[in-house]
Amino acid sequence: MIGAVWLRAPARARLHALRELYRRFFGENTPDARGRRLLAEWLSPAQRAQFEQHRYFDVIGCDTGRTYRIHYGTAANVHEIDHNGRATMGWCFVPSGFLVPGDVMLAQKIALETSETAALALANRFPPATHTEHFYRRPF
Amino acid sequence: MRRLNMATQIVMDRTGDTRHEFDPDNAEALARAERRFRELTGAGFTAALRTGPGEVTQIRSFDPTAHETLFYPRLVGG
């Protein structure tokens, strides 16, 4: 059915559809997509794989060796986790200004991996049960 | 044609990021990049370099040999 419609469509319409398809799947240049690309470039291969599968990735704090899970989002998206992956504390700190989720997550990763104590000193704590997985919206 | 040894300064902003490419072999371009580094860090941005896959380090002074420098705005409690 779709194939028949495709064949009857004028060339210009087909070209337009093809361009739209290309734009959506390969040429995304929205702030969100740019942020995700930048984040992916700076993640380790393990973090990237984890992010692609779960929408979060783990980082190790440079000062304490504690593990933090950074979820997709722009606020209240960092959890300290225990050895079983259970969240024990939420930490809220973000770069100032209006940044997309990928940028916020990358800044949080760099801060925890290079100046953990300073980042946590300005962060607000929150109980980890405040937000469920449903709180973090699906990015893509 | 883009030169292979071009360096980039990536500044996070509301568009995702803005990239400033420059030729580190060009003294004038290098001076502009250093000025941009000072302006951004002076305004509270943090500068970071990639030192390996997924490995990062913060820098507090301009590194003329850095291939890619990332700047993110001052962190605040959420």
User: Residue A58 is which amino acid?
Assistant: D
Residue numbers in A near B59 (CB within 8 A): none
Mean pLDDT across the stretch A18-24? 68
Question: Over 70: is that where the pLDDT of A6 sits?
Answer: no
Residue numbers in A near B75 (CB within 8 A): 93-96, 107, 111, 119, 122
Question: Over 90: is that where the pLDDT of A4 sits?
Answer: no
ipTM above 0.90, yes or no: yes
Beta bridge partners of B68: B8
User: Residue B29 is which amino acid?
Assistant: A
Select from A103, A105, A115, A125 the residue whose CB has the most chain B CBs within 10 Å, as the one to mutate to test that interface: A103
CA-CA distances (angstroms) from residue A79 to A47, A101, A116, B46, B78? 15, 16, 13, 22, 13
What CA–CA distance (Å, rounded) separates B31 from A1? 61
pLDDT of chain B, 78 residues: tens digit per residue: 455 689 999 999 999 999 999 999 999 999 999 999 999 999 999 999 999 999 999 999 999 999 999 999 999 997
Encode pLDDT of A97-140 as tens digits.
999 999 999 999 999 999 999 999 999 999 987 555 555 555 55
CA-CA distances (angstroms) from residue A128 to A9, A68, A75, A79, A108? 53, 12, 13, 7, 17
Encode pLDDT of A63-109 as tens digits.
999 999 999 999 999 999 999 999 999 999 999 999 999 999 999 99
Select from B8, B10, B13, B17 the residue whose CB has the most chain A CBs within 10 Å, as the one to mutate to test that interface: B17
> Which pTM was predicted?
0.83
Distinct helix (H) and strand (E) counts, chain A: 6, 5
DSSP string, B38-56: HHHHHTT-EEEEEEETTEE
